[in-house]
A and B are shown apart, each in its own frame.
Chain A
Amino acid sequence: MKFSNEEILETIGMIAEGKLDIRTVTLGISLLDCSDPNPAACARKVREKILARGEKLSDKADFVANEYGLPIVNKRISLTPLSLVVPVADPAAFLEVARAVDLAGEEIGVNFVGGYTAMIQKGETAIDKALIAAMPEVLATTQRFCASVVLATTRAGINMDGCYTMGRVIKDIAARTAEQDGIGCAKLVLFANPVEDNPFMAGAFYGIGESESSILVGVSGPGVIRRAIEKLGPEADLGQVAEAIKKSAFKITRAGELVGKEMAKQLGVSFGNLDLSLAPTPADGDSVGQVLEVMGLAMPGAPGSTAALMMLNDAVKKGGLFASSSVGGLSGAFIPVSEDASMIEAAKVGAITIEKLEAMTSVCSVGLDMVAVPGATSAETLAAIIADEMAIGCANHKTTAVRIIPAPGKDIGDFVHFGGLLGEAPIMAVSKISADNFVRRGGRIPAPLQSLKN
């Protein structure tokens, strides 16, 4: 036999019990040729391009999933940051184009489109200001267009005016989507050092260094990693655990590589990259928190969580890098609170706090992700939380992000329910100590030193 029984059963087990799946097949589409000062013309060009490039995405993804027997959970589109496409400083123009994008996304059957994006790490242009001014209405009145704003990079430092602006924008979005617990905020990601080829939502946008169109694949399989560690038993030392994670990550990544290459071939575009991130879903067994638990922590958030997560994140990368010819994107472990059953539980009993999450984000992908806080949290406090997360990204040369939801009318002990992949979350406590005067100073925190690092 070409494959041994053990190999075959291992793979079958990964899919059936470990819930191995292709988390997302995201088609990146450049909109640089759609720019037009006339908003109606711009909207039409953008719509036509999305339809032309993406109309086969959903069918082809279903075809490839069936052919290989590997589930593809989400089909998505990422676009050139809209601030580079709409050349007029008018919020109404952004609203018009955003609505066209939303409808085009619906037409081709994708659940999220990324790219309502501005990059203001060093300052805002008049166009950026218009995009941000229209953002609350865009997120409140469209279904699937996701927004992101770059507030910091290691080279530029942190735009504190931008952090404060976004604190206020988040409050506005929450108020406009109050009936759904502020769900609009779940479609907004604030970044330090973002990557330009991220397939995962809500933070995906298609960078200007990318090709005309390409396939970006996000694989996942926290359940597979958990099962591999479980098999080792409690006696295995952490070196052996790291080794088991690497081997599983290799196999998961190979599945993604196979699907990515086939998708690119089917759609006649290049295979952009494979993102090795361990991304959870609210489904049972599909949890990154449970991987930490099987490593020996009673709950995520326990002392030792940062160390365990660093090892997990690193071992996933080491295993995955050799498995694919084009690793990119975020490539690390995600710890979104509302989308992970074990994280939800830990937040509910107070095992994990915003402060501990912040520490954990210094060693893994993304950052404060899908964190629900009391609706009364001020714009200044939100800005300060955002700035802290940006600082971790800046100082560590890595991507960090904030997706925070100040749920209107909710307080500690309450729950927010978003449904679907966005899940549900308990409201987490926010420090009552004021950072108002620090935030109101505004300006820019200079780029951190790149030498004398001791």
Chain B
Amino acid sequence: MGKNSKSIVVTVIGKDEVGIVAKIATALAENSINIIDINQKILGDEIFAMTLLADRANSSLSLPEITAKLKESVKDMALNVTVQDSEVFQYMHRV
């Protein structure tokens, strides 16, 4: 995937609750961001951990704006949300 596809990696970590995936997915959909891959686990008994790869080529939002939207969507939950350009991971972890 090159720079043009503009893929991002979203991570959501924190206390498990009903509806986290739904809320994040809705927020992404509302902003024309397409989910490409999703990976979700419960660590131990109650730690929710999700990593998600998405394409933001059709979204007009900047990376900080996307972060703000996602944080807003789960603002009542004890979760930590980060959004990074996937190229960062490509550079760091693939030679």
Contacts and interface: CB of A to CB of B under 8 A. Distances in A.
Interface stretch (B20-28, B69-77, B80-88): B80-88
Interface of B: 1, 9, 11, 13, 37, 39, 41, 49, 51, 53, 62-64, 67, 82-89, 91-93
Interface in A1-40: 1-3, 5, 7-9, 11-12, 15-16
Interface of A: 1-3, 5, 7-9, 11-12, 15-16, 66-70, 251, 254-255, 257-258
B11 A8 contact: yes
Contacts, number: 71
B52 to A, nearest CB: 9
Contacts of A68: 63, 84-85, 87-88
A66 B62 contact: yes
A69 B88 contact: yes
Contacts of B64: 66
A64 to B, nearest CB: 10
Nearest to B11: A12
A109 to B, nearest CB: 19
Contacts of A7: 89, 92-93
Nearest to A62: B64
A159 B39 CA distance: 63
Given A254-B92, A257-B91, A1 B37 contact: yes
A127 to B, nearest CB: 44
A66 B39 contact: no
Given A3-B86, A16-B82, A258-B91, 16 more contacts: A1-B37, A2-B53, A3-B9, A3-B89, A3-B93, A5-B39, A5-B41, A9-B11, A11-B88, A12-B11, A12-B82, A67-B62, A68-B84, A68-B85, A69-B67, A254-B91
Contact of B39 (A1, A67, A255): A1
A2 B92 CA distance: 13
A11 B10 CA distance: 12
Given A1-B51, A66-B62, A11 B84 contact: yes
A2 B37 contact: yes
Nearest to A16: B82
A255 B88 contact: yes
B3 to A, nearest CB: 9
Contacts of A254: 91-92
